[in-house]
A and B are shown apart, each in its own frame.
Chain A
Amino acid sequence: MVQPRDAAQAAKPVERSVPRADAAASMRFRRAVVDRAMQGVLGLAAASSIAVTLGIVYILISESVPFFRAVGLKTFLTDTMWTPQFAVPRYGIVPLLMGTLVTTMVALAVALPAGSIIAIWLSEFAPARLRETVKPVLELLAAVPTVVYGYFALLFVTPLLQRLWPDLPTFNMLGAGLVMGIMIIPYVSSLSEDAMRAVPMLLREGSFAVGGNKIVTATRVVFPAALSGIAAAYVLGISRAVGETMIVAVAAGQQPLILDPARPLDAMNPGQPGATITAFIVSVSLGDVQHGEIGYQAIFAAGLTLFVATLGFNVAGYLLRKRFRQAY
């Protein structure tokens, strides 16, 4: 867009000088200055979002560099024990990653199928009025504070599960993961539903015209056509699950998994307590860790791992969403 030039120049072609022109020119000059100044201020605000990211990256890296110097990147990635509080501390991230993986899988096992089915139902089956009522109510699921969900997982869902499975410990990844899945449903269903409703009616008519019924049309025509939007919803759901903190901190216990090299699959059992990366950071923060000691640096190393893990999902989600927006 062509910028308004400064007003002195702008006023030049105007006839010299009936006195009122001066007032008008000075007003135009003031307006041009204000316009320019506001552009600068707003631009700075937009750039501040970059500063936040740079700040996060810089701090995570700079605070964890001493940690990696002391522990070593290879040990961090390959050691199978995370025991910072022991006399001989071990710092292998794998148990925390496993904890994150297990709770995430449980959550996704709930959220992806349920979210997709609800999205298809809302988009293709439910009457418009019902949809407009149900959608915001469903989105309240994502609005409940996570600490309340943690309470719910620990004191409602787990006791319920214990009736089916009496051996289940009080703190377990299953209950936490299930509740996390419920929380994520609206993230998956709302964005998927938006994507499916953006599919042109013409495509559906094509399917109905050859005798397709609603569900066949929905799954064979609409769903594939909206795939990149739906994939974005899934990816963002995953990112949420990986980064979720309070539910697992409250309900899944805060001890890292103990990996038995002889029976590696045992770690995948959700019916046991386990700490995720996020829960570990919380448990350290609650304790009395001094600025600058290795325990303090360890949470930044864990945070860096978390940031890197979600960065990929977030960017992929953004690109997929952009693609589906462009398609229609």
Chain B
Amino acid sequence: MVTAGLGTMDRPGAEQVEVREAALREAWSAWPGVASGRHVPPPIKADVRSLSFWYGKVQAVKNVSIPIADRRVTALIGPSGCGKTTLLRCFNRMHDLYRNTRYEGQIVLHPSGTDIIDRGVNPIEMRMRIGMVFQKPNPFPKSIFENVAFGLRMKGFRGRSEIADRVEAAIRAAALWDEVSDRLRKPAYDLSGGQQQRLCIARALATEPEMVLFDEPTSALDPVATARIEELVQSLKERVTVLIVTHNMQQAGRVSDFTAFMYLGEMVEFDRTEKVFQNPGKQLTEQYISGRFG
């Protein structure tokens, strides 16, 4: 993957790194269980602090705090309507597209220290830094190539060969290159559902985001396509931080390093995935994991 690009613009100086590491240690200190013992805590990519979110008068996310570990996969699970997708969509300010919505709290993106939901932060900038993959594959009705190139053009890339290189790199990263390399100019809608979803992943990866959000990315796909996407999500963590919403608990178990269980807008439990699934700390989590509700 080509590494030059606008993604490097936030590289901090040495002095700031020190300050930030202190902040990271402090952030993890709120989660002694997760970071203790033999598990060396990874740096935190995004820190959700006391986040609340309202649709009009309805509070969908209630005072949630979660650390999102850098270049790891964090899963949000919980029954439908528990606010996991709402929480996910706070990360790229998708709620700003609709009226009557309100955030409270912070989502601090490290290492730049930007508070994503701060009113003074441009949502468009956040969306360029944080990619998203949706529930239903939603490629644009354009060619395969143009789907991936769009974000690059948004970010201001102009050179034809540079765009072509980056498009290829992104499609390769989404494990789609071998299937589409000979028909990049064909409409994206000719692809199968699973291929379309991998194309959407390539689209999100092309601009080298710091983080990628997945909103139940396999719920519209068959089991074979689902397996490929899961494999892909796991491989992505080498380069990018992943936050994934799923209502499929096996999936959360298979792909994620950390899991947050939400219920009725509240975060019930957050821990390493194997801990949540093998030895949950809360009764509610245990009931949900064992399929007694939801």
- Report A's interface with B, CB cutoff 8 A: 1-2, 4-5, 7, 9-15, 18, 20-21, 23-24, 27-28, 31-32
Contacts and interface: CB of A to CB of B under 8 A. Distances in A.
A23 to B, nearest CB: 8
A32 B121 CA distance: 13
B8 interface: yes
Interface in B33-73: none
25 contacts: A1-B98, A4-B122, A5-B120, A5-B122, A9-B122, A10-B120, A10-B121, A10-B125, A11-B122, A11-B125, A13-B115, A13-B118, A13-B120, A14-B112, A14-B114, A14-B125, A15-B11, A15-B112, A18-B8, A18-B11, A20-B6, A21-B9, A23-B156, A24-B9, A27-B156
Interface of B: 6, 8-12, 16, 93, 96-99, 112-115, 118-125, 155-156
Nearest to A22: B9
Contacts of A9: 120, 122
Nearest to B9: A21
A2 B8 CA distance: 28
Contacts of A15: 9-12, 16, 112
B120 A12 contact: yes
Contact of B6 (A11, A13, A24, A32): A24
7 tightest CB-CB pairs across the interface, nearest first? A10-B122, A21-B9, A13-B114, A2-B96, A27-B156, A4-B122, A20-B9
A24 B123 CA distance: 15
Contacts of A24: 6, 9, 155-156
A245 B93 CA distance: 54
B92 to A, nearest CB: 13
Given A2-B96, A2-B119, A15-B112, A28 B125 contact: yes
Given A10-B120, A15-B16, A18-B11, 9 more contacts: A1-B98, A4-B122, A4-B123, A9-B120, A14-B9, A14-B114, A15-B112, A24-B6, A27-B156
Contact of B113 (A13, A18, A20, A21): A13
A26 to B, nearest CB: 10
B20 to A, nearest CB: 11
B9 A1 contact: no
B248 to A, nearest CB: 32
A2 B99 CA distance: 8
Contacts of B121: 10, 13
Contacts of B16: 15
A28 B12 CA distance: 21
A14 to B, nearest CB: 6
B159 to A, nearest CB: 14
Nearest to A31: B124
Contacts of A12: 120
Nearest to B119: A2
A27 B122 CA distance: 13
A210 B73 CA distance: 57
A253 B26 CA distance: 92
A27 B99 CA distance: 27
A8 to B, nearest CB: 10
Contacts of A5: 120, 122
B187 to A, nearest CB: 25
